[in-house]
Every structure is written in C-alpha cells, then in structure tokens.
Amino acid sequence: MPRTLDPELRRALAARIRYYNELGIYDFYRQPLSDCTEAVLISVDEDEIIVSTNIVSTSSVSTNQPESGEQMSPRKSAAVAVPVVVEENIFEAIALKPEQSVSDPVKALRIIREDLGDCMRCVLHKQGRKQIVFGVGNPTAELMFVGEGPGADEDAQGEPFVGRAGQLLNNMIKAMGIEREQVYIANIVKCRPPGNRTPERDECATCSPFLMRQIAVVKPKVIVALGAVAAKTLLAMSASMMQLRGRFYDFRPAGIRSNDPDWDGCKLAVTYHPAFLLRDPRQKGEAWKDLQMVMKELGMKAPAKGAE
C-alpha cells in the first residue's frame, strides 16, 4: 500500500538515512516481534527512499555486521516485497557535496582533500600515522584500484601502493598494457593501521565516505577492489574471496552522486590484494584472470603474459 509521509518526517528520515549511509549502514529493520513477523525496511536505492514491508522469519534477518556471516547477501537483495517509492527526490537534495559544483576533477579532488583536513575522525589518527595517504593517479581514470590501507612505505611517502605490494601492483597494471599514471589508486582507510593490522570496521566506515566522494569525482568505468577489506567495504556485503571474485558488480558510491548525469556508477571486480599475492604467488594466475575480465570490460587488448 502506498504511504504518504509527512514532509517534515520525510526530511528527517532522509537526513537520518544519509547519516547512517555515511557510516556504511544501508538497510534498517524494526526489531522482530516474534519468530515469524513483519519487518519494516527503509533503504536508499539509487536516488530513491524505499519503504517496504517484508514477512520474515527471525532467522532470515541478520542484524549482524558483514564479517559475522560469510554468506551474507548483497544489501540490495534485502529490499524486497512491495516497495513504496517516496515520490520526491529528496535524497539527491541532501547528498550535495562542495566538490559537486566543480567541473574540474583536479579541483574537486582538492576540495575533498581539504575537507578531510588533518583528519582525526577515527582512532587511526593517533596510532602513529606520519601522514594521510589520500590517493593518486589520473583524476579521470577509467580504471581505479582500491586497496585496504597504507603500509609503512605508503605512510612514509604519502602515496598508496609504493612498497613491495605497490611494485607488484605496478607490474599487474603494466601487464594489462597500461601505466600506473593512467589509473587512480586509493585505499579504504587513509591512515596506516599500526603494525599493518587490518582496519577495523568502524575505521573503514568513518573513512570510506571520502573515498566514495573521490570515486564520484573520478567516475571510473571499472573499480578493482584489492582484497577482502576493500571488497566488503565497497560492496557492503560479506563473503569469501572465492565467492566475491569472478564476476562484476554494479557499483554506485554510497551516499553521494556524481555531478555528471551521464555517470550512473560503474562495474566493480574483486581480486586478491598484491600483498597476499606476495605471500602466496601461486594465486597470481587467478588474479590475472580477474584482470583479464576487467580488460575485456574496458575493451583493452589482453597481452599474452600476466604479472610476474
């Protein structure tokens, strides 16, 4: 049944959804009332706020965060049953960012960097970082690589993927027949986690909105998520690398819209993180298959040999 929301309530609801989106949370469930009951889902799909009801068994609704379940479904599949679209495009109105009024991507990226400032939004700012590692590369790249977070070399140089893993990534890019300067490279978190530990979920959620804004500026055709942390954060889903690899996902940066009406998101592929490939070189062939899939999507001619 269509519902008409009070305009005030609708605005407040949109603001709250936007807030949670920036934290990486997309779907909302009312607490189940019994083993089999009605759940209310409020989600944002593209530029629409969707209010939907769904009869569920308690066991089918997980309120766990992504890493708690290897088989967790993609978030879009959660929005089911008779969706009721709120007629006014209010999400677009509240998603505007300062860089969206700028057409020059170099300037737009600079605005995001200035907005980030000397960031202290998560604990990583006080755990030994030397500097923020924002991102590097072609601001209009067709291909973007997203890793997990800076390591010691990246922290020292202020550029992502410059250590041993970076060398391997460079080789992977070269093997595709292009140069590092032609792609854009960034990470989920912009500060080095101490001891190269995996970034915590809240750190990823706090930092990734800035990455989403970078993606909306660069407007790549394809993003390659390097490793599980990047894949799970970008896709807001949890699954094993084996399940995540080998296919494309339709991707739109959460909580932000590009100022280009012709860019409505991109494809996203998942492959192994170069640091993992250094530890287990036997998987290089699998990573090469992923990159070949990307090259086909981008219309690039596949060289005969993969990355060494």
> Judged by CB, which is closer to ligand SF4: 206, or 233?
206
Question: Measured from the CB of residue 120, what is the shortest distance to ligand SF4 in angstroms?
Answer: 6
Question: Measured from the CB of residue 21, what is the shortest distance to ligand SF4 in angstroms?
Answer: 16
Question: Measured from the CB of residue 296, what is the shortest distance to ligand SF4 in angstroms?
Answer: 34
Long-range contacts of 65-71 (CB under 8 A, 24+ apart): 65/201, 66/201, 66/232, 66/236, 66/237, 66/238, 67/201, 67/232, 67/238, 68/238, 69/238, 70/238, 70/239, 70/240, 70/243, 71/239
> Judged by CB, which is closer to ligand SF4: 134, or 272?
134
Question: Measured from the CB of residue 194, what is the shortest distance to ligand SF4 in angstroms?
Answer: 12
Tell me the residue type at 131: Q
> Judged by CB, which is closer to ligand SF4: 113, or 174?
113
Question: Measured from the CB of residue 167, what is the shortest distance to ligand SF4 in angstroms?
Answer: 24
> Judged by CB, which is closer to ligand SF4: 27, or 203?
203
Given a contact cutoff of 8 angstroms between Cβ atoms, the answer to whether 111 and 213 are in contact is no
Given a contact cutoff of 8 angstroms between Cβ atoms, the answer to whether 21 and 254 are in contact is yes
Tell me the residue type at 201: R
Question: Measured from the CB of residue 189, what is the shortest distance to ligand SF4 in angstroms?
Answer: 4
> Judged by CB, which is closer to ligand SF4: 70, or 115?
115
Both tokens of 128, joined, read: 């030994």
> Judged by CB, which is closer to ligand SF4: 90, or 189?
189
Q: 3-class DSSP state for residue 282?
A: helix
Buried/exposed code over 256-291 (b: 16+ C-beta within 10 A; e: otherwise) = bbbbeeebebbbbbbbbbbbbbeeeeeebebbbebb
Binding residues for ligand SF4, per CB under 6 A?
Answer: 116, 119-122, 124-125, 132, 189-191, 203, 206-207
